[in-house]
Structure 1
Amino acid sequence: MVVTTLEFVHCLAVFFCRHGKLERAEVLFQRVLSGNKALGNEVSVLAVMNNFGNLYREQKRLDKAEEMYQCVLDGWKRRLGIDHVSTLGVINNLGVIFQDQGKLKKAKEMYLQSLAGYQRTHGQDHLSMLDTISNIGEVYIIEGKVKDAIKMYTQARAGYERKLGPDHERPKGSPAKYRS
Structure 2
Amino acid sequence: MNDSYENITLILTGSEIGVLEEFLGFNDRYSPLYKREHEIVHLDRFSRGESMQYLMRGFHETGMDVPDEEIRDAVEVLDGIVGWLREYGWLRYRGRSHGAAIDEVFQRAKSDIIDELSRYSRRYLTIMMAVSEGYNAWSSLKAYLERAEGKRINDGSLNTALRNLIKYGYLEKHGDEYRITDPVIERALRHAR
Report the TM-score when normalising by structure 1: 0.33
Query: Per residue, is there more strand in 1 or in 2?
Result: 2
Report the TM-score when normalising by structure 2: 0.31
Query: Per residue, is there more helix in 1 or in 2?
Result: 1
For the pair shown, which has the larger CA radius of gyration, 1 or 2? Answer: 2
